[in-house]
Amino acid sequence: MGRFITLEGGEGVGKSTLARGLAATLRARGFEVLATREPGGAPGADAIRALLVQGEPGRWDALEETLLFAAARLNHLRETIRPALARGAWVICDRYTDSTRAYQVAAGGLDAAKLDALNAILRAERPDLTLVLDLDVGEGLARSRGGSAGEDRFERKGADFHARVRAEFLAIAAREPGRCKIVNAAQAPEAVLAQALAFVETLL
Ligand code: TYD
Following DSSP, what letter does each residue of 46-96 receive, concatenated?
Answer: HHHHHHHHSS-GGGS-HHHHHHHHHHHHHHHIIIIIHHHHHTT-EEEEES-
**Ligand 1 geometric centre to CA of 29 (Å):** 30
The CATH architecture annotation of domain 3-203 reads: 3-Layer(aba) Sandwich (3.40)
**0.75 cut: is pTM over it?**
yes
Domain ranges for the chain, please list them.
3-203
**Ligand 1 geometric centre to CA of 53 (Å):** 7
Q: What are the tens digits of pLDDT across the range 35-88?
A: 999 999 999 999 999 999 999 999 999 999 999 999 999 999 999 999 999 999
Asked whether 69 lines ligand 1 (CB < 6 A), one says yes
pLDDT reading at 145 higher than 90 = no
